[in-house]
Amino acid sequence: MLADSTINRAPSALQFSSSTPWLQRITALGERFYTELAPTPMPDPYWVARSTACAQDLGWDADWWQQSNALDVFSGNALWPGMRPLASVYSGHQFGSWAGQLGDGRAISLGETSTPQGLWDVQLKGAGLTPYSRMGDGRAVLRSSIREFLCSEAMHALGIPTTRALCITGSANEVWREQVETGAVVTRVAPSFLRFGHFEHFAHSRQHEALRELADFVITHFAPECLDAAQPYAALLEKVTRQTAALMAHWQAVGFCHGVMNTDNMSMLGLTLDYGPFGFLDAFDPGHVCNHSDHQGRYSFANQPNVGFWNLHALAQAFLPLLGGDVELAQAALEPYKTVFPNALLTRMRAKLGLASVQASDSELVDDLLRLMAASRTDFTIAFRRLSRFDAADMVSRDAVRDLFLDRDTFDAWLLRYQQRLVQEGSPAHERQRRMLAVNPAVVLRNHLAEQAIRQAREGDFSEVNSLMKVLAAPFDEPDRADYTAFPPDWAQHLEVSCSS
């Protein structure tokens, strides 16, 4: 542990829960689940950015970052009373192959704080070596930390289940990736960071008693309704299935690509977890691969729903010892995915088109629009935003959408069908437009926007990080700066994002 001189008294507003702290709960399961260790200090840290919204959701005062030793605590240089840092062990499938033991290779949980939403785990990412770092250095770089910080909060503002990001601290400390970069620590928070891989670890190592203890832990603290089920473990698996299906629908509806959907990056709570080589679609391309390291395209945009289901099968395999080896019971717990995902996605797409009622032809209407967008490589976000302002009586609004498509005649035919569908509903145009503008964002975290903020941050200017954060916090509002909603510049086509961070 850190020396006594590094332990500082936290202000009462920040005092971690002493009654049921996360680390005490998980440590009660035994040392098979974790390793206690201190973060590795980061020299001469400085603040890069902070999320006011995240701090508010934690129930913290606006000046939390000015409190005693906060900069050192969130850089891995100090602890507040009640913090008991640890890294957890898990395993998983990476790019479809069993990777064996993994674990928190650069993430260290400090503890769980009491929030208005319950107890939330507070975790440092980039806080140094752990027993699970393998060939890594345990550090994160400024580039990837900014991307995770911005996207975590952007996804939350979009209404998508996600881990959150509280702050970033930086340092001149050098970290080697493809080139020398500077180090950073991003503090992320969530009700839990438990992953599919935690269950895979104990199943594949045949530690079935530990597997059961872990499942009981999850049910007790995150799924108590499963206790009343005839088969509690099957009920838990079904709950995770439904949450994952709903999450995939969220991603597809907003054009989000995760980039590395390994089972160790899948949340047991249905949260978007581990922002690495992610990206939002610019030109709509179902086969888009945002991860430069994904040479086979396993995690393309169109593949994400199927990969989510594949990952659930891997989780179900890990659950078999809990289900008495009953394969049919496990399959039954996965079955809802086949209906929950498509129904949830169609519901979201109806909302994006402003459709207030349900008709059997809606799926075809949506699919035909997406095919037209794919053929023209139409910008995903801009297309739906412009469609949100469409009014059949306004030629300007019609042409604004029409200009996005190469095959105007085919699009005109689709638009006529869409108009007829709207007439059948009879809702006033201004009411439909209001609904659509509330679900079709004006701004998403495009790669070039993140890149511009990163380039300035490398020069010590964090103003664009903070400006972008404010805009992303209100994604459905029109920002003051037109470049946030403009088409990506030509140079953005050459940006590449990989697993290196």
Pairing status of strand 107-115 against strand 164-176 = unpaired
Question: What's the token pair of residue 365?
Answer: 């209407």
Residue 45 pairs with which residues in a beta bridge?
none
Q: How far is CA 39 from CA 55, 68, 78, 443, in A?
A: 22, 18, 8, 36
- Count the neighbouring beta carbons within 10 Å of the beta carbon of residue 293: 16
**Counting beta carbons within 10 angstroms of the beta carbon of residue 117, is it exposed (0 to 12), middle (13 to 18) or buried (19 or more)?**
exposed
Is the Cα dihedral 224, 226, 231, 236 positive or negative? negative
H or E, element range at 4: none
Give DSSP secondary structure letters for 462-489.
-HHHHHHHHHHTSTTSPPS-GGGTSPPP
Give me the amino acid identity at 447: N
Rg (CA), the chain: 23
123: closest CA among 113, 144, 109? 109
Within 8 A by CB and 6+ apart from 114, the residues are 16, 17, 59
**Tokens describing residue 283:** 């030109």
254: which 2 tokens?
């907003």
Place of tokens 């913090």: 83
Catalytic residue selected from 72, 104, 121, 264: 264
Nearest partner of 20 among 118, 87, 108, 107, judged by Cα: 118
Token reading at 101 = 């033991």
Are 95 and 294 a contacting pair, CB within 8 Å?
Answer: yes
**Cβ-count burial 329-360 (b if 16+ within 10 Å, e if not):** bbebbbeebeebbeebbbebbbbbbbbeeeee
The Cα–Cα gap between 149 and 162 comes to 12
How far, in Å, CA of 44 to CA of 75, rounded? 9
Reduced to 3 states, what is the DSSP secondary structure of residue 22? Answer: helix
Establish whether 264 is a catalytic residue: yes
Q: Which residues are catalytic?
A: 264
